[in-house]
């Protein structure tokens, strides 16, 4: 029997995955969690059969990742993640192991995770976790070290199919594999160092340093948009290898666009606009559709939570 689950909690955003303050888009107005550990035995038996793929184009990592220790990043991520799990649990907002959406998320992850070591050998040693948090926000993420989380709201409000869930999960896992959080920290350290040196050399003082810092923020946004495109490319490939239809990436972003009215213009966004993203996904179809056709398909399919209008009144 499913434990009592609070699907309308408010949980603090983990600092490591908190997004830029100016981004108000749907998918990045997100970042929280809920709970179930993926054991090594589960992954070993769940690996879908698929022909080996050359992912060298999708697996490029920035040299900025070398500025920060991977072990330190993963340890800090694990601590933040555990803190949020505790917070969610205290509000009965941690998805119980027998919840239908927890089972669904774990099943999809079991199909995607076996393909992660091709891009990042460290992933073989990650303690992968998949969690559901009872919040109505539209949110999902994967922290460094393989800590995956989905909000109940993104599943229910967007009525996501399994293929669309796999597109989000593949994308978020790709961020972790490509070490974008580690890269972002390395870039921040380098950018701040250059700003301080420039301000000192040119005698700009505090006002000049503030202007330079604004320019640094725009540089960071540009890096972040590139990160999003890279995660899309790798995420589409892994989801396709796992047997999920990559064309769901298009329907997913159509839903995102519908729910993201009032988002900032592309230049000031931390990821490509919905239209640009859909165009990029369409352009990648010749690469990923043959992989999808060859992949073993999921033996089990799930549905989204019932929409709010169909929920019985309490």
Q: What φ, ψ does residue 132 adopt, rounded to 5°?
A: -115, 130
pLDDT at 186 over 80: no
pLDDT score, position 124: 95
Residues ≥6 apart with Cβ < 8 Å to 39: none
Q: Is the pLDDT of residue 174 over 80?
A: yes
Banded pLDDT at 142 (limits 50, 70, 90) = very high
User: How many separate domains does the chain show?
Assistant: 1
* pLDDT tier, 59 (very low <50, low <70, confident <90, very high otherwise): confident
Distances (CA, A) of 189 to 167, 201, 207, 252, 288: 31, 18, 20, 34, 36
Q: Looking at the domain assignment, is residue 1 inside a domain? A: no
pLDDT at residue 44 tops 50 = no
Q: Does residue 48 fall inside a structural domain?
A: yes
Higher-pLDDT residue of 81 and 217 is 81
pTM: 0.80
Please tell me the predicted confidence (pLDDT) of residue 217. 43
Residue 89 lies in a domain: yes
**Is 117 among the domain residues?**
yes
Kindly state whether residue 304 falls inside one of the protein's structural domains.
no
Q: Which pLDDT score is estimated for 193?
A: 58
Instruction: Examine residue 248 and state whether it is found in any structural domain, yes or no.
Output: yes
Winning range, highest mean pLDDT, from 47-56, 162-171, 205-214, 276-285:
162-171
Rounded average pLDDT over 95-101: 96
In a domain, 196, yes or no: yes
Residue at 309 is within a domain: no
Span 98-115, mean pLDDT? 97
Tell me the β-bridge partners of 132: 150
Range of the domain at 57: 15-299
pLDDT at 153: 93
Take residue 267 and report the two structure tokens written for it. 């230049």
Say which residue, 3 or 79, is predicted with more confidence. 79
Among 40-49, 50-59, 275-284, the range of highest mean pLDDT: 275-284
Half-sphere exposure of residue 103: CA atoms within 13 angstroms, side-chain side? 10
Q: Which of 98-107, 134-143, 202-211, 234-243 has the lowest mean pLDDT?
A: 202-211
- Cα end-to-end span (Å), the chain: 19
User: What is the pLDDT, as a whole number, of residue 104?
Assistant: 98
Q: Is the pLDDT of residue 40 over 50?
A: no
Averaged confidence pLDDT in the chain = 78
């Amino acid at each position: 029997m499913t434990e009592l689950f609070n699907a309308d909690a408010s949980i603090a955003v983990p600092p490591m995955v908190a997004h830029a303050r100016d981004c108000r888009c749907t998918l990045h107005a997100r970042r929280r969690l809920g709970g179930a550990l993926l054991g090594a035995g589960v992954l070993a038996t769940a690996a879908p059969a698929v022909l080996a793929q050359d992912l060298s184009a999708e697996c490029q990592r920035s040299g900025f990742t070398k500025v920060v220790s991977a072990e330190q990043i993963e340890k800090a991520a694990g601590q933040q993640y555990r803190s949020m799990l505790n917070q969610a649990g205290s509000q009965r907002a941690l998805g119980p192991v027998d919840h239908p959406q927890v089972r669904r998320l774990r099943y999809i992850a079991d199909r995607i995770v076996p393909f992660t070591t091709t891009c990042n050998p460290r992933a073989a040693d990650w303690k992968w976790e998949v969690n559901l948090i009872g919040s109505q926000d539209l949110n999902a993420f994967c922290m460094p070290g393989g800590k995956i989380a989905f909000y109940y709201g993104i599943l229910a409000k967007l009525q996501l199919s399994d293929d669309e869930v796999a597109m989000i999960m593949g994308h978020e896992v790709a961020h972790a594999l490509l070490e974008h959080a580690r890269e972002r920290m390395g870039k921040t350290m380098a950018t701040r160092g250059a700003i301080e040196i420039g301000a000192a050399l040119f005698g700009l003082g505090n006002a000049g340093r503030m202007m330079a810092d604004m320019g640094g923020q725009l540089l960071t946004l540009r890096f972040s948009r590139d990160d999003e495109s890279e995660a899309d490319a790798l995420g589409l490939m892994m989801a396709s290898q796992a047997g999920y239809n990559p064309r769901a990436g298009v329907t997913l972003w159509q839903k995102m666009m519908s729910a993201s009215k009032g988002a900032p213009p592309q230049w000031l966004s931390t990821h490509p606009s919905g239209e640009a993203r859909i165009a990029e996904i369409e352009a990648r179809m010749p690469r990923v559709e043959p992989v999808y056709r060859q992949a073993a398909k999921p033996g089990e399919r799930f549905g989204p939570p019932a929409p709010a209008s169909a929920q019985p009144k309490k």
